Structure 1
Amino acid sequence: MVAQGFIVDLNKPLVFQVGHLGEAYQDWVHQPIPGKESPRYFESDFWERLTRTKWWVIPIVWLPVVCWSISKSVRFGYAYPQIALMVAFGILIWTLLEYTLHRFLFHIKTKSYWGNTLHYLLHGCHHKHPMDGLRLVFPPTATAILLLPFWNLVKFIFTPSIAPALFGGGLLGYVIYDVTHYYLHHGQPSMAMQRNLKKYHLNHHFRIHNKGFGITSSLWDRVFGTLPQSKAAARSP
């Protein structure tokens, strides 16, 4: 039962509070708190530690897996240009997956207690506290659980010689995505392209959360018509 007028106490663990917001959850979670503090999610220290990950853990854990996976295709005798094309295709597949997950899963509308709770853990927490530096990348434990079905799907669709390089490329795309995501929130880009990408992503957080679902590029937003308008274009009649 949803408590009418329920107010989340930010000084207490958040995860099991947000479900009580019911239909008000969507409005609440998209009103960001821009400070860099890292709120507590769980009473349990064990579960709390699992939610916090430093950005550099991602390349340390997953780049060796990327290299191992790509090397399996190299052993089939493919030339390096062929391997590079497979890896590039894997990265391209990841960018589409990145967009699709962000748009249709991470921004799913919820209003039930457990729906709100699970959404908050998955992505809502990031929109509420977008500058929380310890929760900007995906915990490796959760990633490892998700990788198994993706690997099995790639093996099912592609040949044993091609699948490892494609999977390695997709995993490399994920690593690029996670470290880019951290950089867009906490880095100070000097190049125009990087500054534009940062502006594009922060617009998604602070101006128009139902558009701009890419992270590493705006490619699929352009393809599917979800690229947000600039402020100047939005103001024009």
Structure 2
Amino acid sequence: MYVLTDAIEFPPVTYADSDGLLALGGDLSTDRLLEAYNHGIFPWYSDDQPILWFSPDPRMVLFPLKLKVSKSMRQLIRKNRFEVTFNKDFESVIESCAMIKRPEQEDTWITSDMKNAYKKLHELGYAISVEVWEDSTLVGGLYGVFLEDKKVFCGESMFSKVSNASKYGFITLVEWLKQKEVRLVDCQVYTDHLASLGAVEISRDEFIEYLK
């Protein structure tokens, strides 16, 4: 297992094990996080663990032009079912993502240190949030890291308190990313939810090419 030092650097992603685990240790400084994302690496760990860094193979991604919008979702969008904003309340979005109960997880991986680190990325303009509102109440949203120079958006987490709210926000985000000519949305690992929206798995090598 590769243990990080104070130096802002990572081993080659090919060193990752079969689960995608690449390294442990280091910190969640802005410089280290940006170095990680620019090389296809992200942190994912629980409070009782050291910082763990992953670069899975295959990688789940969405090509914006391949976005799938179901008939029912198109109807909701036409009816303006929800109001969607960007960067209006990043803190509430990441707090909600941390608190939402997920059947596949016993506890959250969005620790207090993670929240503070991504709030700092947001303040510096690297992390963005999408808020979904119903009657002025936050009912869904998501956040991620936007590598604008590489035309890649790295999704981190989403939440929904009302049926279809997070999906509505994600679709709105992808349409916005299309306008910015973003080539790829990084979804990290497979989920049925993301697959239903058109996300697919590609090799890590292919994914890394988009970051060069």
Do the two structures share a fold, i.e. TM-score over 0.5? Answer: no
Quick check: which has more Rg, 1 or 2? 1
Q: Flag the structure with higher strand content.
A: 2
- TM-score range (shorter-chain normalised) is 0.3 to 0.5
Structure with the bigger RCO (C-alpha within 8 Å, sep 6+) is 1
Q: Flag the structure with higher helix content.
A: 1
What TM-score results when the alignment is normalised by the length of structure 1? 0.34
What TM-score results when the alignment is normalised by the length of structure 2? 0.37
